[in-house]
Amino acid sequence: MRLSDERWRELLRLRAADPGAINRAYAARRRREQLLSPGGTLFLIAADHPARGALGVGGDPTAMADRRSLLDRLLIALENPAVDGILGTPDVVEELLLLDALHDKVVLGSMNRGGLAGADWEIDDRFTAYTARSIADFRLDGGKMLLRLVDSDPGTVPTLRASADAVTELASYGLVAMVEPLPYHRDGAGKLVLQRDSASLARAVTVASGLGVTSAHTWLKLPAPEDSLALDATTLPVVVLGGMPSGDPAADLASWGAALRHDVVRGLVVGRSLLYPPDGDVAAAVGAAAEILEKTR
């Protein structure tokens, strides 16, 4: 399912001439009955980076800026039957809906994109995209929130509170709340650096697990840890995130595979690593990730 010139022009026509087509597409989407695949896993493609101004992949700082290219890559990824669905902001989700690409797929709406990449206020990550109410109204399957924890930055506090409220509200609708807790610190130059050590990740896991009035519908989205400590810290279902591609796809796959063997880990949520592989072969990259997931179950 490629994005032909004809389909691209029709998408642009609908955007300009028929905005009501979006609500009709939300209403018409066929929802699948179960969140998990028959094998008990969940494999999502992440496409919420552009809304936070995070456009770079590898050495190209604007790789994700070309929307037609991004959508074409997403269509290729979604064609693989092992891909359960998408995690995206309203603009991307709606474009895929208009392209008739989300029937029988899991759709998680990305909620807080206000912490623009590189901004002084980046850690004060305001909720600027989907709300819990809109996710329910649009018949999506849940919402995702990014929760970067920086002890030295008070911007962490409003994001923490807003995330707790979102977990509570999503649970009231019986919808998944996927929380991505990432511990960061600022280096000597003030740059945010992800703390990947097991103790920091375990602490982040315990903080995220206690958000909201119930954890009944909470999932965690975590980087592949160096050992099992962070994964041992929770009973909540976990998906492994892809993160920034390392430039070595084989190493990325090996890292994900090790984490996928843990009992609490249910699957993968990967974006740039699969959509922008070094060799440009999106279908092969997605297929390799799907194979790793299947082998570890």
The enclosing domain of 258 has a CATH number of 3.20.20.70
What is the tally of structural domains in the chain?
1
Contact of 123 with 150, CB cutoff 8 Å: yes
Task: Report how far residue 48's alpha carbon sits from residue 161's, in angstroms, rounded to the nearest whole number.
Answer: 21
- Show the domain range for 256: 5-295
Task: Report how far residue 107's alpha carbon sits from residue 135's, in angstroms, rounded to the nearest whole number.
Answer: 10
Q: What is the pTM of this model?
A: 0.95
Question: pLDDT in tens for each of the 297 residues of the chain?
Answer: 689 999 999 999 999 999 999 999 999 999 999 999 999 999 999 999 999 999 999 889 999 999 999 999 999 999 999 999 999 999 999 999 999 999 999 999 999 999 999 999 999 999 999 999 999 999 999 999 999 999 999 999 999 999 999 999 999 999 999 999 999 999 988 899 999 999 999 999 999 999 999 999 999 999 999 899 999 999 999 999 987 777 778 888 988 998 999 999 999 999 999 999 999 999 999 999 999 999 887
Beta bridge partners of 239: 221, 267
Amino acid sitting at position 184: Y
